[in-house]
Amino acid sequence: MTYRVHVRVIPRTGLLDPQGQAVEHALGALGFAGVREVRIGKAIELGVEAAGPAQAREAARAMCDRLLANPVTEDYEIEVEG
């Protein structure tokens, strides 16, 4: 069956994220006070053919390690629907 897999790729904590900083400043300028530590990453949605949710997750993990995330600069989270 096909599982809907959501992958979130986020710049590693401690690394400068200039996009996050720019958005944080813009939010402040719009009057949204108290917004801190904005970080901007990517959301990737996949339909993954797998025997079960665990296998779908394992496949997505391998995809993250090889391509979807850069192990030097990014962390990722995987969520499998169903």
Specify the residue, 23 or 50, whose C-beta has the smaller distance to another protein. Answer: 23
Give min distance, CB of 72 to another protein, in A.
4
Residue with Cβ nearer another protein (12 or 53): 12
Q: How many Å from the N-terminal Cα to the C-terminal Cα in the chain?
A: 11
Q: Are 42 and 8 in contact (CB under 8 A)?
A: yes
Q: What is the DSSP letter of 42?
A: E
User: Which residue ranges make up the site for another protein (CB under 8 A)?
Assistant: 11, 15-16, 18-19, 22, 42, 67-68, 70, 72-73
1 touches 80 (CB < 8 A): no
Q: Would you say 1 or 77 has its CB closer to another protein?
A: 77
The neighbour count for residue 72, using CB atoms within 10 Å, is 7
Residue 57: CB minimum distance to another protein, A:
20
